[in-house]
């Protein structure tokens, strides 16, 4: 894991990615980027670890990560993040409580980082406060929608249905991550997913 200055290329990618939520004028942008850091995480290294507070929210410039828990000595992968997405152990970041799981890079991953300290400073900086509150609101609302869908699928769908839906709605994830992580994500074992695949005979 290394930190350094941020390239203009990375900043431009970030600015485009943020446009989904908020845009800055030049004054604001200049101020905003003074609060950012840059970090790279080598493949298999960890972005955050269990029992430590996750102090950072990251925006992935390139690479990918998974979030996993350990249960009975076995890793269980709960979600993934890819380029142009945020990654954090949100509950830990937001509440400053220790993480219950790990975030690990699946590839060498480059991120722009907003530390919780810098986020707090921006929320107190008159030039940025309003926009950062709004930014935080819109990002949180975006994730609420994602999470709501996911919970609904656990409640109303069978594992097989969740798999078939995922094939259609998230073909990218299906191709980029190992199948046993997908199984965890769907809430089943890798063996069970292999059987579902054989049963449904839908190979994308």
Q: Which does 189 bind (CB under 5 to 8 A by kind): its own copies, DNA, none?
A: DNA
Binding flag, residue 179, DNA (CB under 7 A): yes
Binding test (CB under 7 A) with DNA, winner from 16, 19, 20, 43: 43
Binding test (CB under 7 A) with DNA, winner from 28, 83, 160, 170: 160
Binding flag, residue 137, its own copies (CB under 8 A): yes
Binding flag, residue 126, its own copies (CB under 8 A): no
Binding test (CB under 8 A) with its own copies, winner from 18, 41, 63, 101: 101
User: How do strand 102-105 and strand 56-62 relate by DSSP bridges?
Assistant: unpaired
Binding flag, residue 200, DNA (CB under 7 A): no
Tokens of 37: 């850091």
Residue among 111 and 196 whose Cβ is closer to DNA: 196
Q: Which does 192 bind (CB under 5 to 8 A by kind): its own copies, DNA, none?
A: DNA
Q: CA-CA-CA-CA torsion for 29, 83, 142, 96, nearest 10 degrees? A: -80
Binding test (CB under 7 A) with DNA, winner from 61, 110, 119, 193: 193
The piece of 12-20, 53-61, 120-128, 153-161 that touches DNA (CB under 7 A) is 153-161
Residue 120 and residue 116: Cα distance in Å, rounded?
Answer: 6
* Contact residues for DNA, defined by CB under 7 A: 43-44, 158-160, 178-180, 187-198
């Amino acid at each position: 894991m290394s930190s350094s200055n941020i390239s203009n290329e990375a900043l431009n990618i970030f600015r485009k990615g943020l446009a989904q939520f908020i845009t800055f004028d030049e004054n604001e942008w200049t101020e905003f980027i003074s609060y950012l850091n840059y970090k790279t995480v080598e493949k298999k290294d960890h972005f955050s670890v269990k029992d430590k507070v996750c102090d950072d929210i990251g925006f992935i410039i390139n690479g990918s990560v998974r979030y996993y828990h350990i249960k009975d000595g076995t890793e269980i992968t709960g979600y993934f993040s890819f380029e142009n997405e945020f990654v954090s152990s949100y509950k830990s970041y937001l509440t400053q409580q220790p993480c219950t799981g790990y975030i690990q890079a699946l590839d060498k991953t480059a991120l722009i980082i907003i530390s919780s300290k810098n986020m707090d400073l921006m929320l107190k900086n008159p030039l940025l406060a309003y926009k950062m509150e709004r930014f935080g609101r819109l990002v949180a609302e975006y994730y609420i929608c994602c999470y709501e869908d996911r919970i609904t699928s656990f409640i109303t769908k069978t594992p097989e249905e969740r798999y078939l839906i995922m094939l259609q709605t998230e073909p990218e994830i299906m191709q980029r991550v190992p199948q046993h992580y997908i199984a965890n994500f769907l809430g089943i074992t890798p063996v069970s997913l292999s059987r579902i695949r054989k049963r449904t005979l839908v190979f994308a």
